[in-house]
Structure 1
Amino acid sequence: MSGGLDAPMSTPHVIDEDSFTLAANLPTGPVPVEPYRSPEFFELERERVFKRAWLYAGRIEMLPEATSYFVKNIEVVKASVLVTRGKDGQVRAFHNVCSHRGNLVVNTSCGKAERFVCRYHNWAYGCETGELLGIPDQKHFFEVDKRELGLTPIACEVWEGFIFINMQKSPEVSLLEFLGPFGRTYANVPFFNLDETIVIEADFKANWKLIADAFAEPYHVPSLHPATLAPGFAHPEQNRYARPLSARVHGIHRHFSAYGNPDYVPPPSSKVERLVYIQDTGGVLGGDASENAAALAAHPAINPTKNPNWSADVTWIFPNFNIDYSTGGFWTHEFWPLAYNRTHWTLRVFIPRTASVRHRLQLEHYACRWGEVVLEDVTNCERIQRGLESGAKDHMILQDAEMLIRHNMRVLDKWVKADTVAEALR
């Protein structure tokens, strides 16, 4: 017998010829949520993903001159990483660990130094190659060979000014192989407004993928950001649900292009925004008017459909790094796991030096708007984590505009199951 109250209710499925999901050859069924709440899966991620993938460490501007350095703490792989620029201009990375007793050598976040001295017993290391320069009272050690006791190197490569590291002692693939088609597609994108950064960071009681997912789709914009983003990124008639202009996979990486409302102007009640708003720089996410905007928009990777109603591109480099572009410049997100249900998130918005009083007001408004938007995004993730950990649901139902999330889960599944990185990249 069929029908009646016991019959399942469903919405008829209509195949969309413009479906981002189908174009990416992805399945369309429910996606398991166990990877968001499982301590065991988190350990698989630690070993199979973060200890094998190339990880973003910083921008080249963080090493402005020879002997500059910065320290990157990466809790998920339990590493303190010292990134340096030698007198030869080469960028290198080392474990920030003394060869004597395992103490952390450098305890400041950044600076300049021709040598690094461990303050436990004053063992000294060079900034160039991490070589051991000196051991106090060396004559009372037994069979010590300083040539074998330098800082332990970490594989380090630079792509388009972005510094990546790999925690494998001998990486299975190069950075360019890891980036694959993404690296080729986004090569030579012009980066500008590199003078200063607005940095917002926080720890959240949520799985790292939930934080990443929050920035991976615009479907939530009308409901979660009704007053901040929705007026500029949706349209009551033309694009009510902020559907992306494009969404594509690039090997293990991915992007979507966000819609921008061409009719948006700040409402009369937004008096400060009306003073600083510039229509041609990404609306509410445009921080600066710049002659560089045209060169950015002309790059074939940016807004690849060249839709005139474009506002921003979100690119997600697997596993945990976003580079996002608008005509006002670019910004980055880092989603660092601390535990299966804890994440350290960092947003860096790159901005120019202030050129006038109005310009300063514009940039301050820009920073405040960013704070409003991301607070709405990431605080919601803690509520999702509580919901998932309740066990009430075992799957999530993803819409076509949430294709990036679906793709990430598929790639992640391959990485935790693959015995080699080459297999994971296929």
Structure 2
Amino acid sequence: MTDTVTGARGTTQTLPPRAYFDADWFEREQLELFGRTWHYAGTADDYAAPGAYRSIQAGRHPLVVVRGHDGELRAFHNVCRHRGTAVLPGSGRVERHIVCPYHNWRYGLDGCLLAVTQRKEVDPGLDRSELGLHPAAAAVWRGLVFVHPDPEPEPLTDWLADLPDRMAPYDPEQLAEVGAARQYHLKCNWKVFMENALDNYHLGYVHKDTLVGYDHKRQEQYRCGERHWYFYEPPLEPGRLPPMDAGSGLKPIAQDPHWYGSSFGLIFPNLFVLTSATWWSSIQVIPTGPETTTLELRARFLPGQTGRIALGALREAASGLVQRVLAQGILRRQPAYDLVEEDVFCCEAVQVGIKSPRFSVGPLAYRLEGGIQTFQRNVLDYVPLEG
């Protein structure tokens, strides 16, 4: 195995147990971590037409990203300047202007306040130039849209550090999305799932029957900058597609056999970009409460393949994060283990254990669990231990 960062032998947990179930800690994360980092806001083709928008929750900041008539993507705090109403809930498209659904204040797609209903009633001398939507920041990388509550944050390219240089050179804009986003609801803290995904110690045990075809002994992992993490595991047979990809009926995206393995990039704090030889996917890990989490998965394949094959392959092969549903007549039958259930079982079992008065963490595998230690230190950078 190749790696650039390992912990010291015998190192263990740095986050206290309450970080995984305490309501006050969860609130601090919402304000101090998710309110101060870049957030995934979908793909560029979600905003293909002028007026297309998506609302995004970044910690306690409701934001909205919208495509302007000039083609530019802009982000704003989704808060009307009159009474604070969300001016664009959900997602969709506006034709010309943003109209607040409460009192019909009207904004341009550039965020400027255009009109106030019954202006004389409100304030005849009102200066509209002072009451535009509060700006946020939006940026695009490889077709992925990110948003930040701060209008002038650290540039996204600097934030990503060298992670883009590590990842498979797939362009999601050149791939076809099949089906709607899939959601999974977990009874555990979001960090439990993040740490499970960074735990390469369990792959040969929990997934011994489902992740066949990958060489756990030759896995590579790298810290990218201060915040992010990259993982790659090659196929057992160099230069040959693993069984899950070979039996999927999908055409390989990868031209270079190096990318026949399984890889993911963690974009801190809560986004994974995963690839195999035949598919690309994003997994957003969304905290919904101190002990609940939602996963949202979106997947893409080479264009021109039938939705039936692609959806069947996604269910069969997406490493550790999608529900296994055998597609009769399309995919080679694999052992009837559900990868997502394997991970969910472990995460929810850990969540129960964390609340035990006898809970403690023993020495971590200094190479195979090095990503967990880095992730925990990064969380503490934003949400330090009190006192």
TM-score interval for Structure 1 and Structure 2 normalised by the shorter chain: 0.7 to 0.9
Question: How far 1:354 moved relative to its partner?
Answer: 5.1
TM-score by length of structure 2 reads 0.82
Cα distance in 1, alignment partners of residues 114 and 135 from structure 2: 16
Task: Give 1:390's aligned residue.
Answer: 356
Please tell me whether the aligned partners of residues 196 and 343 of structure 2 are also in contact (alpha carbons under 8 angstroms): yes
Give ranges in structure 1 of 5+ residues lacking alignment.
Answer: 1-17, 234-238, 264-278, 304-309, 419-426
Is the CA contact (8 Å cut-off) linking 2:167 and 2:264 kept in structure 1?
Answer: no
Determine if the alignment matches structure 1 residue 67 to structure 2 residue 27: no
Q: 1:423 is matched with which residue?
A: none
Secondary structure of 1:31's counterpart equals coil
What aligned pairs does 1:167-206 form with structure 2 within 5 A after superposition?
167-168=149-150, 170-171=152-153, 173-183=154-164, 185-186=166-167, 189-191=170-172, 192-206=174-188
For residues 165 and 261 of structure 2, the distance between their equivalents in structure 1, rounded to whole angstroms, comes to 23
- Superposed CA deviations along residues 298-347 of structure 1, whole A, max 9, x for unmatched, are 6xxxx5xxxxxx52111111111111121213111111222322222211
CA distance in 2, matches of 1:395, 1:32: 10
Deviation at 1:349, TM superposition (A): 1.3
Displacement of 1:60 in angstroms is 0.8
Instruction: Return the alpha-carbon distance in structure 2 between the equivalents of residues 261 and 351 of structure 1.
Output: 23
- Match of 1:256, as an amino acid? F
- Aligned residue type for 1:409: Q
Structure 1 pair 33/417, CA: closer, same or farther in 2 (3 Å)?
closer
Give the superposition deviation at 1:255: 0.9
Q: Tell me what 1:348 maps to.
A: 298
Residue among 249, 254, 268 paired with 1:293:
254
Please tell me whether residue 245 in structure 1 is matched to residue 219 in structure 2: yes
User: Residues of 2 paired with 1:313 and 1:67: CA distance?
Assistant: 35
Match of 1:284 in 2: 244
Determine the C-alpha separation between the residues in 1 that align with 2:341 and 2:6. 34
Aligned to 1:364: 311
Distance 1:385 1:33, change over 3 A: farther
Question: Is 1:254 matched up with 2:229?
Answer: yes
Q: What are the superposed Cα offsets for residues 96-131 of structure 1, whole Å, 9 maximum, x if unpaired?
A: 22112111222342234321212222112222x112
CA distance in 1, matches of 2:6, 2:104: 57
Q: Bigger CA drift: 211-220 or 157-166?
A: 211-220
The structure 2 residue matched to 1:140, chosen from 97, 116, 121, is 121
- Counterpart amino acid of residue 220 in structure 2: S
Is 2:373 aligned against 1:406?
yes
Moved more, 132-141 or 177-186: 177-186
Distance apart, 1:38 and its partner CA: 4.0
Give yes or no for contact 1:198–1:367 (8 Å, CA) kept in 2: no
Q: Does 1:376 align with 2:342?
A: yes
Q: Cα deviation per residue 1:168-212 (whole Å; 9 max; x = unaligned)?
A: 3542x2222212222455596543423435522133221111112
Q: CA deviation at 1:396?
A: 4.6
Alignment length (residue pairs)? 358
Alpha carbons 1:71, 1:110 under 8 Å: kept:
no
Counterpart residue identity of residue 365, structure 1: G
- Distance apart, 1:63 and its partner CA: 0.8
SS of structure 1 residue aligned to 2:181: strand
For residues 294 and 63 of structure 2, what CA distance do their matches in structure 1 show? Answer: 17
Match of 1:56 among 12, 35, 40: 40
Partner residue of 1:6? Answer: none
Pick closer, same or farther for the CA change 1:95–1:187 going to 2, 3 Å.
farther
Q: Which amino acid aligns with 2:224?
A: H
> 2:221 is matched by which residue type in structure 1?
A
In the TM superposition, residue 232 of structure 1 has moved relative to its aligned partner by 2.9
Q: 1:211 aligns with which of 193, 196, 208?
A: 193
Q: TM-score, normalised by structure 1?
A: 0.75
Q: 1:334 matched to which residue of 2?
A: 284
In structure 2, list runs of 5 or more residues that go unmatched.
Answer: 317-321, 325-338
Report the Cα distance in structure 1 between the residues aligned to 2:186 and 2:25, rounded to whole angstroms: 19
d(CA) in 1 for partners of 2:361, 2:49: 50
Report the alpha carbon displacement of residue 389 of structure 1 after superposing the two structures with TM: 1.1
CA distance in 1, matches of 2:199, 2:360: 21
Whether the aligned pair in 2 keeps the contact of 1:160 and 1:188 (CA below 8 Å) is no
**Does the residue aligned with 1:334 lie in a helix, a strand or coil?**
strand
| 1:319 counterpart letter in structure 2 | P
Q: Deviations over 1:265-310 (max 9, x none)?
A: xxxxxxxxxxxxxx96554257664464116x56xxxx5xxxxxx5
Alpha carbons 1:282, 1:312 under 8 Å: kept? no
Contact between 1:94 and 1:154, CA under 8 Å: does it hold in 2?
Answer: yes
1:253 counterpart letter in structure 2? H
> Contact 1:219 / 1:243 at 8 angstroms: preserved in 2?
no
Deviation at 1:352, TM superposition (A): 4.5
